[in-house]
Amino acid sequence: MQTRSKIDGGILAAKSKCFKRLEKFVEDKSTNRVRYVEVDQAQGQRIDNFLLGLLTGVPRSRVYRLLRKGEVRVNGGRVKATYRLREADRVRIPPVRMEVRGEGAVAPVPRVQARALASSIIHEDADLLVLNKPAGLAVHGGSGIALGIIEALRQMRAEPGLELAHRLDRDTSGCLLIARSPSALRELHAALRERTVKKRYAALVHGIWPTKRNTVRLRLHKYVTPSGERRVRVSDQGKPSRTDFHVVATASRATWVSAFPHTGRTHQIRVHAASSGNPIVGDSKYRPDALRAMELELGIDGLCLHAEKLVLPFRGDWLKFVCSPPSAFVSAWEALS
């Protein structure tokens, strides 16, 4: 755990680097020139993340619009936001209007958030950071969020190369892997693609989960509501998805279960639980509104889903990380019991 002086020092160093990079880019913009960047250390990184790190001060929505319209090109051709950069790739960066607001162009990490993140680190080595992610913090910025976990850590630690190996929903707590090098990121992504990473989640669900319901296989389809909210539903046109469930403990009106996702679909555990008749406690997206009053009466305010354990192959060895559920999760179980 870092001391406050180290955190503050990291913030100042990161801000200094960000401002220098911003000043350099604004200088390039003033000449209205297209820039070309040859990839070296960023190899293996997604092009959208690469641009978000490079174009400090440019709105996230603008960066994705540049990609959609083909204004950003790699080796002369269009690429999708998910394209992974390779060594010696040549990236075309068009002139971009910066949102320069003096020092406000780089939002400092609030001290409360900095302390929470510093204390949530459970493992650190030359390749990895592992966090017991607090519930309520988004893993990346966007949609009105100035600083997500990854942007905050880059700034706090003066490590612009930090990258998320995977994601957790904003309201989900637990084990979160962050790569500190392109080679580590590539290896982690390969393990995730090959499904050799084993995940265990702790969840509290409404009602009594049948002990014989060990596996849920339902195809899941992502969609966007008219208000712009991202949702997932069960659909024959969706992608195959599988979650295994194991009952840990049963109370009069709720069940503590372990969930083991075999696929990594958006909101998979939440939708599989809700569609089986046992929605996750505190899930405002997928649990019936009728259960909200009971949750509020018991003082439960938050999603009771926690990424409890990760086991993965890395650098020729097997790593295991376990994150204890937060106090709010345990308190919710006590209230339901």
What phi and psi, each to the nearest 5 degrees, are found at residue 220? Answer: -120, 135
Residue 169 annotated in active site: yes
Instruction: Convert 111-149 to b/e letters by CB count within 10 Å (16 or more is b).
Output: eebbebbbebbeeeeeebbbbbbbbebbbbbeeeeebbb
**Would you state the structure tokens that stand for residue 214, as one six-digit string?**
């060990």
- Name residue 124's beta-bridge partners: 129
Which residue is catalytic, options 48, 89, 169, 171? 169
Per-residue tokens: 275: 């569609």
Answer whether 185's CB lies under 8 Å from 179's CB: yes
Query: SS3 sequence, the chain?
Result: CCCHHHHHHHHHHHHHHHHHHHHHHHHHHHCCCCEEEECCCCCCCEHHHHHHHHCCCCCHHHHHHHHHCCCCEECCECCCCCCECCCCCEEEECCCCCCCECECCCCCCCHHHHHHHHHHEEEECCCEEEEEECCCCCCCCECCECCCHHHHHHHHHCCCCCEECCCCCCCCEEEEEEECCHHHHHHHHHHHHCCCCEEEEEEEEECCCCCCCCEEECCEEEEECCCCCEEEEECCCCECCEEEEEEEEECCCEEEEEEEECCCCCCHHHHHHHHCCCCECCCCCCCCHHHHHHHHHCCCCCCCEEEEEEEEEECCEEEEEECCCCHHHHHHHHHHC
Residue found by looking up tokens 């409890």 in the block? 308
Among all residues, which ones are annotated catalytic?
Answer: 169
